[in-house]
Amino acid sequence: MKLARKLVDSVKPKFAKGSKLEKYHYLFDAFETFLFVPDTTTKNGVHVRDAMDLKRTMLMVIIALIPSMLFGIWNTGHQHYLAFGMESSFMDNMIFGLIKVLPIIVVSYAAGLGVEFLFSITKGHPVSEGYLVTGLLIPLTLPVTVPLWMVALGAVFCTLLGKEIFGGTGMNFMNPALLARAFMFFAFPAFMSGDIWTDLSPEVGHQVVDAFSGATNLVVFDTNYASLPSAWDMFMGFEQGSIGETSVLACLIGAVILIVSGVGSWRIIVSIFVGGYLMGLLMNILAPADNLAHAMHTPAHFHWLMGSFAFGAVFMATDPVSAAQTNTGKIIYGLLIGIMIVVLRVFNPAYPEAVMLTILLLNVFAPIIDHIVVERHIKTRLKNA
């Protein structure tokens, strides 16, 4: 690290203000502060500092995403070989998965960071750190068969219209990664939902199998929940779906990392699971007795295991910018997300997966929830004064 520090210090003056490369100052600063903790000092006032700056916070989220990413890579290979009736080893699955998933991640970062760097150079402001996480979240919410140009378009869309147009990271009122997924879902529905190719490898051929992106089991459960895989398979993630969403176990490992590090809100995560379970129980009570195959009969805990419920609860709804900020507000925010996900899943057969749009909707209402909580708190204190 000392060698890297010396190398960075040796070229740093070339990017200082007043030098020939001044317009690239913030671009260089982005790379420097990504490698090392910023050396800026406070000259006025009293400030409390620690090692967890914004880049380090984003790094913790990326670490929490690693289990879901690695399992998604393995599952991509596993589902491919399984679909074509071929035996495969762990390494076979990982190698095949890397070949398919890695380009999606690279394109996501290249397109999104390209926009960030362009704004930094032309507008003369620091590079936003938020895309360090967004660039990985976007690929994990997509099916592995998505065309790379669509990934690039989604990344550019969410960076421009999801963040930069509102002032950059910290000013966005919606989760940028979910905004990219929503844009791609409505712009290219044939590639984001319904029947998709399990794989487009030329050595295998373009064979269509019964595969779905994202809400595989949700498409099935809407007509007959009894045909769902076992709870264990859904918990572990041995199913088709978007790259990072299938394994509830991997998502829970990420949740532990976020909660222990203090980056993620346990109130939001727990509230979403509680809200979804309670609404699932209510659906069971109100379910028609003459139609045991109705979606309302689905066991309440199955909603936790299907689709992107766990992934959305852990990584999307907990976005510290677009989520509720007050402690009470976080609980209300989480409960509403969990409740609405189950309601939409059961009563909206045209769109069986509801996690994405539900979280985006509650992102819009998060400031109102916080405002109501704060106003109620103020009135209570004034009344007791």
Instruction: Name the average pLDDT for the chain.
Output: 80
Query: Is the pLDDT assigned to residue 302 strictly greater than 70?
Result: yes
State the pLDDT at residue 341: 93
Angstrom distance (rounded) from CA 139 to CA 145: 11
State the pLDDT at residue 208: 40
Is-contact 141 178, C-beta < 8 A?
yes
Q: Is 290 helix (H, G, I), strand (E, B) or coil?
A: coil
The pLDDT tens digits of the residues spanning 328-380 come to: 999 999 999 999 999 988 887 666 678 988 999 999 999 999 999 999 999 88
Q: How confident is the model at residue 43 (pLDDT cuts 50, 70, 90)?
A: low
Q: How far is CA 71 from the centre of its chain?
A: 15
Amino acid at 202: P
Angstrom distance (rounded) from CA 88 to CA 100: 16
Angstrom distance (rounded) from CA 267 to CA 14: 47
State the pLDDT at residue 97: 94
State the pLDDT at residue 23: 55
For 297-338, give the DSSP string: GS-TTHHHHSTTHHHIIIIITT-TTTS--SHHHHHHHHHHHH
The pLDDT tens digits of the residues spanning 94-133 come to: 999 999 999 999 999 999 888 887 877 776 666 666 778 8
Angstrom distance (rounded) from CA 139 to CA 125: 27
Q: Is 212 helix (H, G, I), strand (E, B) or coil?
A: strand
Measured in degrees and rounded to the nearest 5, phi and psi for residue 84 equal: -100, 10
